[in-house]
């Protein structure tokens, strides 16, 4: 105890104490988080997961803006009751292009990780405008303005460039585009090309007509397009039911 | 008093002195606390041995606890403990418990299931849960539907057929409703005539003169209503074209209109604007064949099965 080390050095030197305190409390985080970046199996190797199209990405922005995540999680846990109600448990791979991810930690409403394709576009629109007209016991607020507010796409490429900075493979150059063709196929790669983002968004919105109104592109178009793709990228019929057991 | 008490004890100090005489007592931790701490250390060692814990190279140490399960290929596998393997085990147990029922469901015909009292009890309870999770958001809790949006499943009026096979097909592949907007080919007067004719088919208040003209138009090549709704106006289930003679309404909100004129106006709106909704998702990718069979019988037994 009383060799050369003296507690007094730390206790009388606030700078040293701050550094040592930070080192001590970061140990817990480091040993739990850091290894995940080195372990091979952290992210499952599955086919089909791709970044969102410009329209879906704008829908996701609206999802975040309206605070949907405060009541809806996007994380199906590997429990029997959740599997029976929501479907296959969520994979890490499925949110690899989400920045930030929308896993959430509280469910006032149901989990939305696999809501894509479960209901028709029409149901989503009506449910967003007046939730209780579809689900009488719902406590969800009404979001009628989504239908009447035109989608702002003026800053679309800026938003995609920001995501590109944090690692989403949206392409700016021809070389990046070609890398995406190799990785995702041509159809998807075209959607990820930032210079064509506005054209792609308008095309997808007009073709899908998600809000049922062809007169313009509303925020509802984007949000429904986003909801309808959630959890649908991986085709689980290609995998055995224990294909991802080894990843944990 | 506390001062006296402190002085009476011989408590050591840490040996530090600030400002000349400011000292700090060195109070040892209570014994119970120290031993609890040692116990948590022992607990951690045991836990690390049993469950997956430490990262090791590009993987981790799995621990000695194993879970054995059977996968969808029928292979028996043993895996170190994790929640995904635990789910496999849970699902195995649940599947085994339900197997006698699901085996029977697979083997029996729809009619046999509906007649068997034990099986219909199983259908009623499991079908109710499946219906609540998957169907009720659109078709409502009791299957009564929603005018303007989703059809009533409890009456005997079916857009695509109410037989077991038709309901099964609807569940498996989904449906998509479509009617062209006739304002593009007809003028307002013609649409009004057709609306009055359709109102007359269900014995509702209408303008007889307009209805007579609408009757002719209904069968003409100009409007060609009979292509889908048939010349008797009883509809075609293969196209999802509704029966217009039964006073049952899905798209035009006729029941909500208080006056005869309002009811005709509701019908007029549909003829003019057409429909591109009525989408039912396909459930074959989301539910198992047994679950779809359960739902088929459940929906059939809601009251209107044919």
Within a domain: residue A48?
A: no
Within a domain: residue B144?
A: yes
Q: Indicate which CATH number applies to the domain containing B221.
A: 1.10.760.10
Same domain, A82 and A173: yes
Same domain, B203 and B251: yes
Same domain, A16 and A93: no
Cβ-Cβ pairs closer than 8 A, A with B, add up to 100
pLDDT tens, position by position, A105-130? 899 999 999 999 999 999 999 999 99
pLDDT tens, position by position, B151-196? 999 988 899 999 999 999 999 999 998 999 999 899 999 999 999 9
Work out the average pLDDT over B132-158.
92
Long-range contacts, stretch B134-138, CB < 8 angstroms, 24+ apart: B134/A118, B134/B283, B134/B286, B134/B287, B134/B295, B135/B295, B135/B299, B136/A135, B137/A119, B137/A123, B137/A127, B137/A134, B137/A135, B138/A119, B138/A120, B138/A123, B138/A134, B138/B280
The pTM of the full predicted model, rounded to 2 decimals, is 0.88
Interface contact A248-B84, CB threshold 8 A? yes
Other C-beta atoms lying within 10 Å of the C-beta of residue A50: 21
Q: Which residue of A has its CA nearest to B131?
A: A85
Interface membership of A79 toward B (CB under 8 Å)? yes
Q: Residue B52: what are its φ and ψ, rounded to 5°?
A: -60, 135
Under DSSP, the state recorded for B66 is E
CB of A245 closer than 8 Å to CB of B82:
yes
Same domain, B187 and B244: yes
Q: How far apart are CA B17 and CA B20, in angstroms?
A: 6
Within a domain: residue A246?
A: no
3-state secondary structure of B122: helix
Kindly list the residues from chain B whose CB atom is less than 8 angstroms away from the CB atom of residue A126.
Answer: 149
Report which of A225, A81, A91, A92 is spatially closest to residue A146, judged by C-alpha positions. Answer: A225
Mutation site for B-interface testing, chosen from A42, A84, A233, A242 by largest number of B Cβ within 10 Å: A242
Work out the average pLDDT over B113-127.
88
Same domain, A121 and A63: yes
Same domain, B71 and B112: no
Q: Indicate which CATH number applies to the domain containing A154.
A: 1.10.760.10
**B-proximal residues of A, 182-221, CB under 8 Å:** 209, 212
| β partners of residue A40 | none
Q: How far apart are CA A183 and CA A96, in angstroms?
A: 15
Same domain, A31 and A63: no
Work out the average pLDDT over A144-154.
96
pLDDT tens, position by position, B204-239? 999 999 999 999 999 999 899 999 999 999 999 999
Confidence of residue A1 (pLDDT cuts 50, 70, 90): very low
Range of the domain at A159: 54-235
Same domain, A127 and A230: yes
Interface contact A119-B281, CB threshold 8 A? yes
Confidence of residue B5 (pLDDT cuts 50, 70, 90): low
Residue B25 clears pLDDT 90, i.e. is over it: no
Same domain, B206 and B270: yes
pLDDT tens, position by position, B92-105? 999 999 889 889 88
Kindly list the residues from chain B whose CB atom is less than 8 angstroms away from the CB atom of residue A119.
Answer: 137-138, 281
Within a domain: residue A240?
A: no
Interface contact B55-A244, CB threshold 8 A? no
Instruction: Give how far B56 is from chain A: nearest CA, Å.
Output: 9
Task: State chain B's mean pLDDT as an integer.
Answer: 90
pLDDT tens, position by position, B50-80? 999 888 888 888 899 999 999 999 999 999 9
Kindly state the percentage of chain A with pLDDT values over 70. Answer: 98
Peptide linkage before B269 cis (omega within 30 of 0): no
Report which of B154, B160, B180 is spatially closest to residue B172, judged by C-alpha positions. Answer: B160
Same domain, B159 and B285: yes
Within a domain: residue B56?
A: no
CB of A64 closer than 8 Å to CB of A229:
no
Range of the domain at B285: 108-176+280-300
Same domain, A21 and A124: no
Q: What per-residue confidence (pLDDT) applies to A37?
A: 86
Other C-beta atoms lying within 10 Å of the C-beta of residue A90: 23
Within a domain: residue A20?
A: yes
- Domain count of chain B? 4
Instruction: Give how far B279 is from chain A: nearest CA, Å.
Output: 6
Same domain, B112 and B154: yes
- Please enumerate in sequence order all residues whose Cβ is within 8 A of that of A81, keeping only pairs 6 or more positions apart, or say none: none
Within a domain: residue B59?
A: no
Interface membership of A8 toward B (CB under 8 Å)? yes
CB of B206 closer than 8 Å to CB of B213:
no
CB of B51 closer than 8 Å to CB of B70:
no
Q: HSE-up of B111 (CA within 13 Å, CB side)?
A: 2
Per the model's pLDDT, the better-predicted residue between B90 and A1 turns out to be B90
Under DSSP, the state recorded for B93 is H
Q: Which residue of A has its CA nearest to B144?
A: A134
């Amino acid at each position: 105890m009383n060799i050369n080390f003296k507690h007094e050095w730390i206790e009388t030197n606030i700078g040293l104490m701050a550094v040592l305190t930070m080192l001590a409390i970061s140990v817990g985080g480091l040993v739990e988080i850091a290894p995940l970046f080195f372990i091979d199996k952290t992210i499952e190797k599955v086919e089909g997961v791709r970044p969102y199209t410009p329209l879906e990405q704008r829908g996701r922005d609206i999802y975040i803006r309206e605070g949907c995540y405060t009541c809806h999680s996007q994380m199906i846990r590997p429990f029997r009751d959740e599997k029976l109600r929501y479907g296959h448990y969520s994979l890490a791979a499925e949110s690899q292009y989400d920045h930030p991810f929308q896993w959430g930690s509280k469910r006032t409403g149901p989990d939305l990780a696999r809501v894509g394709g479960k209901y028709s576009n029409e149901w989503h629109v009506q449910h967003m405008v007046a939730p209780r007209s579809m689900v009488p016991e719902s406590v969800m607020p009404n979001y009628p303005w989504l239908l009447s507010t035109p989608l702002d796409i003026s800053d679309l490429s800026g938003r995609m460039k920001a995501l590109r900075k944090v690692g989403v493979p949206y392409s700016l150059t021809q070389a990046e585009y070609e890398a995406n063709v190799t990785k995702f196929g041509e159809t998807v790669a075209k959607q990820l090309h930032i210079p064509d983002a506005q054209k792609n968004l308008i095309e997808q919105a007009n073709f899908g007509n998600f809000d049922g109104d062809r007169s313009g592109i509303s925020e509802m178009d984007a949000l429904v397009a986003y909801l309808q793709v959630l959890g649908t990228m991986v085709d689980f019929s290609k995998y055995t039911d224990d294909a991802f057991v080894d990843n944990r | 008093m506390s001062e006296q008490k402190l002085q009476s004890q011989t408590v050591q100090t840490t040996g530090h002195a600030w400002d000349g005489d400011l000292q700090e007592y060195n109070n040892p931790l209570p014994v119970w606390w120290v031993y609890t701490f040692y116990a948590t250390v022992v607990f951690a060692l045991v836990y690390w041995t049993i469950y997956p814990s430490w990262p090791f190279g590009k993987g981790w140490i799995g621990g000695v606890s194993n879970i054995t399960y059977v996968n969808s290929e029928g292979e028996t596998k043993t895996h170190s403990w994790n929640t995904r393997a635990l789910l496999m085990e849970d699902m195995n147990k649940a599947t085994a418990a339900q197997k006698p029922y699901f085996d029977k469901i697979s083997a029996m015909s729809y009619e046999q299931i509906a007649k068997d009292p034990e099986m219909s009890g199983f259908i009623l309870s499991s079908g109710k849960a499946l219906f609540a999770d998957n169907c009720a958001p659109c078709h409502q809790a009791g299957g009564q539907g929603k005018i303007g949006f989703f059809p009533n499943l409890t009456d005997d009026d079916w857009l695509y057929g109410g037989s077991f096979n038709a309901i099964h097909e609807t569940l498996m592949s989904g449906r998509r409703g479509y009617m062209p907007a006739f304002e593009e080919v007809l003028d307002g007067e013609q649409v009004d005539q057709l609306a009055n004719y359709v109102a007359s088919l269900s014995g509702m208040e209408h303008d007889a003169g307009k209805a007579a003209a609408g009757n002719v138009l209904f069968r003409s090549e100009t409007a060609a209503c009979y292509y889908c709704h048939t010349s008797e106006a009883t509809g075609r289930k293969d196209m999802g074209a509704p029966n217009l003679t039964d006073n049952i309404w899905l798209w035009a909100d006729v029941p909500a209109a208080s006056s005869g004129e309002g009811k005709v106006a509701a019908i007029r709106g549909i003829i003019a604007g057409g429909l591109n909704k009525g989408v039912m998702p396909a459930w074959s990718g989301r539910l198992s064949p047994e679950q779809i069979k359960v739902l088929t019988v459940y929906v059939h037994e809601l009251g209107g099965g044919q």
